[in-house]
Structure 1
Amino acid sequence: MLTERQGEILRLIIQNYTTTGQPVGSKTLMEAGIAASSATIRNEMKLLEEHDLLAKTHSSSGRVPSMKGYRYYVDHLLQPVEVNPEEVRSIRQGLGKEFHEINEIIQQSATILSNLTSYTALSLGPDVNERRLTSFKMVPLNHRQVVAIIVTDKGNVENQVFTLPKNIRSEELAIMVRIINDRLIGEPLITVYHRLRTEIPMILHKYFQTTDGILELFESMLNHLFEERIYVGGRMNLLDFEPNQDKLQFKSMYSFMKNPEELTQLLAPRDSLIRIKIGSELGNDLLQNMSLIQGSYAIQGHGHGTIALLGPSNMPYSKMFGLVDLFRRELSVKLADYYRELDSGSES
């Protein structure tokens, strides 16, 4: 552990550097309130450098934080800054719009947080396991294509364009939709998934000579509903954090930002209210100069969700910590209200 003065010097260097982007020298620290001579401060900075908490730049006598320094600061010295009223207002206005399904709220949350910070925001909705099927429709687009729509009791909507097999006629399509609605509405999705693979094919064979292609549609749709869907706001902002990257690095970063599985894995584990990962802790060489602040929230009876910020390692942690903490609480309130309205509507 550091002495009180060393901790204060490290805290001031990080706060100054994350604000200005400039190396911090002893004069700046004296002006910031460190009650010691310039020589004493330089000696303390040298000790912090020997502990790998600071690094010395070649261009000046000032110091900059190391990844280890950021980690120490986050674990021992960070003091969250209260979010200013204008940002609170922006969050509440953005979440106060009318939404027609749960995924719209999750998507909007990523957009709002990204716009507030100019970083990349990631949002995962509540991980509900007991969703029930409330509606299944097939809407013809033309003589061969339909859009299939599945709605759950938790406000999830999944739609997919599907090309019908040549042997299926429109009147047969209506029969199939009626069978699904008669036998599966109100059932948990896991039950729907099981019955579509066992019982329903046997029933469909009574009406159709072949069910080729139809069951693949249901399986594809349900697979999408079981997947965790991550929404990204400010996806391209991430490319700005590494201005000196070559063409190959740029392509790799762009590919990473388009990969939902890798982005979702970035947020694991999701077992604490606020978690900060720095540099190598993110588990990806592309992100070695970046940091992630993620906040989890719980909606009673509807699972847990996560909102996160991915940005440069020299982000202003105190401000971003406070912002993510407030945002996860505001998002939790919005989602709880949405589910309450959904439940009251279904009861009436």
Structure 2
Amino acid sequence: MLTERQLLILEAIIQDYAEAQRPVGSKSLEQQLPVHVSSATIRNEMAVLEKKGYLVKEHSSSGRIPSLKGYRYYVDNLVKPTVANPAVVDSVRNSLNNQFFKIDELVAESARILSEMTHYTAITFKPEGQNIRLQGFKVMPLRNQQVMVLLITSDGGVESQLFNLPKQITGEELESIVRIINERVVGLPLDQVVEKLRDSVPLLLHYVQQPLGFLNVFGRVLNQTAHDQFYVGGKLNLLNFVENGNIEQIKALYSLIDHSDDISNLVGSNDDDQAIQVRLGDELEDRSLQNYSLISATYDVEQHGRGLIALLGPTNMPYSKMIGLLDVFRVELARKMLDYYDFYD
């Protein structure tokens, strides 16, 4: 159990270290604390906090920096999100004020904007898409019996896939396939489309080479549309916080940047429906991220589902400011998405 004075000292050290990026000593704290405490008393309290594992010494000097335990305690018990001033809210709102023709464009742009505002790596997941429906199915003939199949979804998304058709299929037969698929499955939720095709149009699918392969590819495209579509902004910002030019860490971070599945698994989802969640160092389960933190926040787009945005940056980031900014950003992103759906619906 920490005393009130120890809490004040821990909070001041974390905030000062985030701003100055150097160990914090008792003399600087003496001038910052809201209560009058001598430098000697502060040193004693810092020694207690160090013994309890909340602070560590980087060098032999008297200055201390927060430990992961100290950050965890601060985030769970002491952090006070900065209330964004109207200028910040206007800046976020104006940045998202472009016209978007696809929801993916908005999701991608939001990641880019957030990374530029923070100089960290930003990750934005689109809403889960449980209510997205197949809005259109089109086939565009190409050359050499090849066609491009276009799937158009109710959120403005367009997915495409190339298929090879058997030489004996005629244009009329192809038109029949397109017409029946549009009659039977357009308008259905995405998770029902493939099953409906399997049940309703098995006879028509013999016109396509390997009918099961057609359905499987169709299913993969639909699944990609409905789940885990995300965009990353400021990937290379991760490298700005590598410790002492650690070559192995740089290699590991490059690998992480290049593999979307790794980033998706890293972010995961918020537990217990928390609006904002912070994970630190060891909690990220990736050795290359020992000196990084991940702040994630959900955003609710009403009947269109719930998405997630996240910031990946150094453990000594200014948490109050970043949590406050992310809170504003998720609200404005949800508002912009609702405007988008209202316009295109």
Matches within 5 A, 1:313-324: 313-324=315-326
Contact 2:184 2:200 in 1 (8 A): no
Matches within 5 A, 1:195-206: 195-205=196-206
Give the counterpart letter for 1:277 in structure 2: R
How far apart in 2 are the matches of 1:193 and 1:245?
50
Q: Deviations over 1:22-68 (max 9, x none)?
A: 11111100111351111111000000101111111215321111111
Give the counterpart letter for 1:130 in structure 2: N
Percentage of identical aligned residues: 47
Q: What is the aligned residue count?
A: 341
How far apart in 2 are the matches of 1:111 and 1:220?
27
Contact 1:110 1:121 in 2 (8 A): yes
Which residue of 1 is the match for residue 40 of structure 2? Answer: 39
Unaligned runs of 5+ in 2: none
How far apart in 2 are the matches of 1:42 and 1:287?
31
How far apart in 1 are the matches of 2:164 and 2:152?
21
Which residue of 1 is the match for residue 68 of structure 2? Answer: 67
Unaligned runs of 5+ in 1: 344-348
Matches within 5 A, 1:333-348: 333-343=335-345
Q: Deviations over 1:104-162 (max 9, x none)?
A: 111111111001001001111111223211111223454454433211223333223x1
Which residue of 2 is the match for residue 131 of structure 1? Answer: 132
Cα pair distance change 1:208/1:294, threshold 3 Å = closer
Cα pair distance change 1:214/1:103, threshold 3 Å = same
Alpha-carbon distance, 1:202 to partner:
1.9
Deviates more, 1:323-332 or 1:53-62: 53-62
Contact 1:102 1:154 in 2 (8 A): yes
Give the counterpart letter for 1:119 in structure 2: Y
Give the counterpart letter for 1:64 in structure 2: I
Secondary structure in 1 matching 2:2: coil
Contact 2:294 2:310 in 1 (8 A): yes
Alpha-carbon distance, 1:333 to partner:
0.8
Cα pair distance change 1:167/1:223, threshold 3 Å = farther
**Candidates 278, 281, 284, aligned match of 2:283:** 281
Cα pair distance change 1:208/1:156, threshold 3 Å = closer
Alpha-carbon distance, 1:192 to partner:
1.0
Moved over 6 A (4+): none
Secondary structure in 2 matching 1:180: helix
How far apart in 1 are the matches of 2:205 and 2:160?
22
**Candidates 306, 309, 312, aligned match of 2:308:** 306
Which residue of 1 is the match for residue 234 of structure 2? Answer: 234
CA-atom RMSD in angstroms: 2.2
Cα pair distance change 1:170/1:10, threshold 3 Å = farther
Contact 2:177 2:204 in 1 (8 A): no
Which residue of 2 is the match for residue 225 of structure 1? Answer: 225
Matches within 5 A, 1:260-271: 260-270=260-270, 271=273
Q: Deviations over 1:317-343 (max 9, x none)?
A: 111010001101111111112122232
Alpha-carbon distance, 1:15 to partner:
0.6
How far apart in 2 are the matches of 1:300 and 1:126?
10
Contact 1:146 1:163 in 2 (8 A): yes
How far apart in 1 are the matches of 2:142 and 2:38?
78
Give the counterpart letter for 2:11 in structure 1: R
How far apart in 2 are the matches of 1:215 and 1:76?
51
Secondary structure in 2 matching 1:301: helix
Give the counterpart letter for 2:260 in structure 1: P
Give the counterpart letter for 2:278 in structure 1: I
